[in-house]
Chain A
């Protein structure tokens, strides 16, 4: 083997090795089969869903729409969905490219300034899509307003509030549970009976007026914080040239990082508290104003959503106590109605149950002292 051929083989070897290393460093996405395009890895986006057909019923109820107006709204909504679809189709390639680029830059670590910059590009495209959806929403509302009678027009404020709250999806999974709850929407999930809603509509209208600006402000705060928080994560572990930070500096920065994060989240936590308090207060008033069966369902649903680690308690005694007391009461009532004496053996039992139930059924079996501890 001549000297030049050895050099040539070595050069080819180095080149191949280099390619292999480069190939390993690229995120590979396997196509499902030869005919399908490769699947893009997904990035979590915070985009609202378009207005759904279900929402049209709510809009119709808020405005008291007549049948022809509802038909008009349905047709306008079909055009609205087409518009949204066109915007999506137009923006999707840009969004896919930004996501793909960002995932490549991130590799296994999104805590670099380069990664954060690439994520910011994705959020920019996302923001343009969000604005396009907002414009389409508004166009639909303007179209709807054109067919409303003067008496119906004030109802549009409530419709817009409804949509604004629905579009608040910014970092929803990072919010405390009671702050994610919209009682007005929750009632829809619990009861579809129009009379139930009508009974508490005034309360709900007032609640919605107070909830909407806080919810919108919280959404804005959460969306604005996304990039700032990522920048802080990168700042914690990287120097100004995006190189890993010296371990001694890392310890120093750790405490300051926690302070900066807290300061950044201050506003959003305040707003979350406000919403949680408003929900808690309104729930009490709502429950007293609706039929007991719906009130129980609403309370259970609220507890399940607000405190998922506490409710439902599979070993609670509330139901069984209610049944026992109910059975005792019905025996006593039927005995009284038939003017018969209550059997002596049951008398003391019932008296005990009645005495005990006063404390138990009102909540002792659910251990309020513990639940509220």
Chain B
């Protein structure tokens, strides 16, 4: 994501135009979604490793927040103008 963002910024700085903005936008959204899904998967693995995971409200609320973010992220304006 860092590299894609940097490439886009440099492209903009070289042209002062946003010709390929749509490609950049779609790729960044895709990467963010992948990143959140990987985080959620990792979180589930952590939960399965901890015997009393049920008492870890922090893990649960993190997982819920991630699920919510993935749902809401499908229609938000990221990465913005």
Contacts and interface: CB of A to CB of B under 8 A. Distances in A.
Interface string B31-58: 1001110110011011001110000001
Given A177-B9, A229-B16, A353 B36 contact: no
Given A276-B6, A309-B78, A261 B16 contact: yes
Nearest to B46: A324
A135 interface: no
A146 interface: no
B15 A265 contact: yes
A339 interface: no
Contacts of B46: 321, 324, 353, 356
A262 B17 CA distance: 10
How many residues of B sit at the interface, in one of the four size bands?
35 or more
Contacts of A346: 51
Contact of B14 (A265, A309, A314, A316): A265
B51 A345 contact: yes
A262 B49 contact: no
Given A268-B13, A269-B14, A372 B35 contact: no
A349 interface: yes
Contacts, number: 100
B76 interface: no
Contacts of B71: none
A370 B5 contact: no
A317 B10 CA distance: 30
Contacts of B65: 314-315
Given A315-B36, A370-B31, A310 B5 contact: yes
A261 B42 CA distance: 46
Contacts of A321: 46
Choose among B10, B35, B66, B80 the residue with the greatest number of A CB atoms under 10 Å from its CB: B35
Contacts of B79: 309
Secondary structure class of chain A's binding surface, majority of residues: helix
Contacts of B12: 176
A269 B35 CA distance: 30
Most central of A276, A316, A370 by chain B CB within 10 Å: A370
Interface string A256-272: 00100110011011001
B62 A315 contact: yes
B2 interface: yes
Interface stretch (A70-78, A287-295, A359-367): A359-367
Contact of A353 (B13, B17, B28, B49): B49
A372 B5 CA distance: 10
Nearest to A353: B49
Contacts of A175: 13
Given A309-B5, A310-B2, A365-B42, A258 B17 contact: yes
Given A273-B10, A367-B38, A309 B1 contact: yes
B1 A310 contact: yes
A309 B28 contact: yes
A315 B68 CA distance: 10
